[in-house]
């Protein structure tokens, strides 16, 4: 967990970047990420170096050659500011570009990377290096929290309906899906790879001994388990470095328009999809995959992405995705077709309605989490609904943590009730915060999946006095007022 002091340090460095003329938040994050990555390279080399020393053997796959030892963070941080700047721009960046030969996601996206801090800002660079060096980066949680704090500064929505998913919502979705070491996980609109990172952290916490005791599972976890796609090259660089900073060295992060015809051949590849696809994004209809349009003829990206998820999942594969509320009750043929497909042809498991403030300050749109399993043969019995009313933060633009988190945070309750959805949840009344709805009733309601369609609201009956009694009381009050005013006049005379 980040301390207030570390947050203040990050804020000061952030302000210094802006003062130095770098005002694009994503560019600031990208530049800081390069430095974090350089530090990570030294950590990896040190780990391999220590292992070699213990075994009294040469270093296996060293990051740096003997001639490149001055590239290491432990040496770089002690150089004069001008030397630091020159080493990074003239030597380290070209070196990182040559790493493309190892096939890593990071290396493949480094070709157009550039260090944008101008030479006259070498002093600022030195201060940033000192700040990063002062943070205990060996702690996975601190490293992750630091990076999430940086990403939280992306306080405006991106183009094409993109905006960052809050980390606690991502963690909720990962916990609900409970990935296993044999899963192959994909986010076809990965952005900064928040879902992939959270899945990796969940697996590390839950299955660490099992994963690292088995060479096959270790190799799978180190990269091929995680697939992310996006068409924003800067996002891809940040995503691949984000994964690297969280211990995943070779994830499959690719530049790809997931909805395009060029990727129509990708089918039944993944066992788990976690995603928050862009809403109302611009769409090149002519280049959109024909097989998706044959399933659902629409220009709405949120609908096309769900059709894509069904195509990409293996039979038995699971999905947890965020959709705007319109997907749940939209009246167009495309909306109804998609919902009917989820209910009748697949296994729709849950709809978790979220309050509209969850994505502030990026957007005020109301959203929901849709959870389903691909079966291609139906299987929907009952659908579990949950009405999330609080997520532990204020629902205004500031999104500040609430003091009494337990009283204003439904997330732990969602996880608890989700585990009981096939037992105790079946008997809950429609007046409660969660309940189940039979598949037949959903079909009768034209496959409407909005929680308000099924939730029952109990109104408290209020007893009022008879009208004549109320009028008599008003007359009595009026008499008292007139008497009071008469007494005041007498006092004034």
- Look at 352 and 291; give whichever has higher pLDDT: 352
User: Residue 347 in contact with residue 318, Cβ under 8 Å?
Assistant: no
- Helical segments of 135-231, H only: 140-151, 167-177, 194-212, 215-221
* 273/190 Cα distance (integer angstroms): 11
Distance CA 277, CA 358 (A): 16
Higher pLDDT, 98 or 470: 470
Mean pLDDT of all residues in 463-473: 89
- Rounded to whole angstroms, the Cα distance separating 32 from 179 reads 30
**How far apart are the C-alpha atoms of 409 and 42, rounded to whole Å?**
40
Cis peptide before 110 (omega within 30 of 0): no
Tell me the backbone φ, ψ of residue 490, rounded to 5 degrees: -60, -40
pLDDT at 388: 96
Instruction: Give how far the C-alpha of residue 245 lies from the chain's centroid of Cα atoms, to the nearest Å.
Output: 17
Predicted confidence band at 2 (pLDDT cuts at 50, 70, 90)? Answer: low
The gap between the terminal CA atoms of the chain, to the nearest Å, is 74
Is 258 or 151 the better-scoring residue by pLDDT? 258
pLDDT of amino acid 144: 65
Q: Where are the alpha helices (DSSP H) in 20-80?
A: 25-55, 73-76
Which pLDDT belongs to residue 136?
63
- How confident is the model at residue 281, as a pLDDT? 57
Tell me phi and psi for residue 358, to 5 degrees.
-60, -35
Check residue 36 and give its pLDDT.
82
What pTM did the predictor assign?
0.82
pLDDT tier, 159 (very low <50, low <70, confident <90, very high otherwise): very low
pLDDT band with cut points at 50, 70 and 90 for residue 161: very low
| 78-123 confidence digits (pLDDT tens) | 999 999 999 999 999 888 877 654 556 666 777 677 788 888 888 8
Q: What is the pLDDT of residues 16-49, one digit of tens each?
A: 787 777 778 878 888 888 888 888 888 889 988 9
- Under the phi-then-psi rule, with left for phi > 0, alpha for psi from -120 to 50, and beta for the rest, what region is 193? left
Does domain 155-453 sit in CATH 3.40.50.150? yes
Q: Give yes or no for a contact between 399 and 393, defined as CB atoms under 8 angstroms apart.
A: yes
**Helix, strand, coil % in the chain, rounded to nearest 5:** 55, 15, 35
Name the average pLDDT for the chain: 87
Q: How many CA atoms lie within 13 A of 378 on its CB side?
A: 5
pLDDT given for residue 231 in this prediction:
85
Across the range 431-450, mean pLDDT stands at 96
Between residues 283 and 6, which one has the greater pLDDT?
A: 6
């Amino acid at each position: 967990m980040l301390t207030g002091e570390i947050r203040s340090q990050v804020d000061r460095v952030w302000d210094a970047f802006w003062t130095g003329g770098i005002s694009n938040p994503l560019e600031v994050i990208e530049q800081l990420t390069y430095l974090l990555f350089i530090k990570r390279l030294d950590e990896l080399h040190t780990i391999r170096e220590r292992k070699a020393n213990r075994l009294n053997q040469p270093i296996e796959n060293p990051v740096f050659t003997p001639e490149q030892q001055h590239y290491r963070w432990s040496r770089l941080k002690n150089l004069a500011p001008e030397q630091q700047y020159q080493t990074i721009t003239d030597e380290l960046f070209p070196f990182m570009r040559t790493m493309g030969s190892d096939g890593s996601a990071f290396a493949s996206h480094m070709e157009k990377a550039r260090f944008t801090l101008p030479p006259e800002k070498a002093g600022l660079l030195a201060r940033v290096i000192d700040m990063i060096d002062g943070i205990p980066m060996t702690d996975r949680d601190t490293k992750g929290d630091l990076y999430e704090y940086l990403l939280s500064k992306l306080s405006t929505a991106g183009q094409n309906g993109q905006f960052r998913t809050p980390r606690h919502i991502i963690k909720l979705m990962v916990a609900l899906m409970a990935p296993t070491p044999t899963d192959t996980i994909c986010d076809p609109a990965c952005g900064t790879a928040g879902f992939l990172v959270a899945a990796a952290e969940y697996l590390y916490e839950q299955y660490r001994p099992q994963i690292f005791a088995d060479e096959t599972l270790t190799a799978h976890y180190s990269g091929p388990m995680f697939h992310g796609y996006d068409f924003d090259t800067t996002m891809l660089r940040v995503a691949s470095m984000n994964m690297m900073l969280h211990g995943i060295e070779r994830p499959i992060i690719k530049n790809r328009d997931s909805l395009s015809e060029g990727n129509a051949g990708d089918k039944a590849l993944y066992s788990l999809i976690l995603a928050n696809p862009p809403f109302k994004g611009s769409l090149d209809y002519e280049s959109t995959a024909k097989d998706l349009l044959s399933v659902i003829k629409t220009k709405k990206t949120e609908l096309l992405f769900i059709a894509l998820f069904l195509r990409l999942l293996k039979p038995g594969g699971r999905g947890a995705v965020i959709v705007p509320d319109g997907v749940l009750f939209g009246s167009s043929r495309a909306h109804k077709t998609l919902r009917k497909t989820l209910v009748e042809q697949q296994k729709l498991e849950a709809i978790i309605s979220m309050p509209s403030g969850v994505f502030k300050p990026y957007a005020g749109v109301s959203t929901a989490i849709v959870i389903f399993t691909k079966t291609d043969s139906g299987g929907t019995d009952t659908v579990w609904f949950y009405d999330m009313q609080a997520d532990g933060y204020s629902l205004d633009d500031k999104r500040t943590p609430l003091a009494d988190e337990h009283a204003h945070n439904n997330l732990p309750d969602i996880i608890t009730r989700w585990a009981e959805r096939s037992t105790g949840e079946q008997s809950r009344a429609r007046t409660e915060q969660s309940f189940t709805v039979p598949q037949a009733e959903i079909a009768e309601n034209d496959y409407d999946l909005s929680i308000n369609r099924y939730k029952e609201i109990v109104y408290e009956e209020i007893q009022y006095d008879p009208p004549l009694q109320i009028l008599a009381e008003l007359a009595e009050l009026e008499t008292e007022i007139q008497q009071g005013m008469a007494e005041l006049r007498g006092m004034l005379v």
